Amino acid sequence: MEDVKISNRIELEFTLNTPQHLLFNRLSTPSGLSEWFADNVNVSGKIYTFIWDNTEFKAELLEKKENKNIKFRWLREGADPKNFFNFRIAVQELTGEVSLQVIEQLDENEDINESISLWNSQIGNLKRALGI
């Protein structure tokens, strides 16, 4: 019997009735991210410092496409360099409906259900910040 490696990747999609540029601002700027994602966020070059309860976590900005996509990689000791979290904004052509896709590649030891629950909570905070 062969060992089968199960991917620790989650992909979640949320419909958000808000203009694309407003959503992108909440996903890509320190002030926007501080409204829903972390207690405080600082940026120095491509390094974002997220602060929760006076504890800092750093992430590197890997990719940024205006009003479409922003991708980060956590910079913590022992983290797999292939791991990332990505926010993608899509607009439905026929309806104009805006959706946010959250994609995260987790470490093997991270709990997928716990991560999904955390993202659902965080996106609830984002919806409140956007007034929807």
pLDDT digits (tens, 9 = 90+) for 6-46: 478 999 999 998 999 999 999 999 999 999 999 999 999 99
Between 81 and 58, the more confident residue is 58
Report pTM: 0.88
* Mean per-residue pLDDT of the chain: 91
CA distance 81 to 62: 11
96-116 per-position pLDDT tens digit? 899 999 999 988 878 899 999
Question: What's the domain range around 20?
Answer: 9-130
Residue 76 has pLDDT above 90, yes or no: no
Note whether residue 24 is domain-resident. Answer: yes
Note whether residue 44 is domain-resident. Answer: yes
Number of domains the chain is built from: 1
Note whether residue 1 is domain-resident. Answer: no
pLDDT above 70 covers a percentage of the chain that reads 95
88 pLDDT band (50/70/90 cuts)?
Answer: very high
Residues 6+ apart with CB under 8 A from 41: 30, 31, 33, 34, 48, 49, 50, 51
Between 81 and 117, the more confident residue is 117
CA distance 32 to 45: 17
Note whether residue 2 is domain-resident. Answer: no
Note whether residue 35 is domain-resident. Answer: yes
CATH code of the domain containing 81: 3.30.530.20
Q: Mean pLDDT across the stretch 113-123?
A: 95
Q: Mean pLDDT across the stretch 54-70?
A: 96
Residues 6+ apart with CB under 8 A from 30: 40, 41, 42, 43, 48
Note whether residue 13 is domain-resident. Answer: yes
Between 41 and 1, the more confident residue is 41
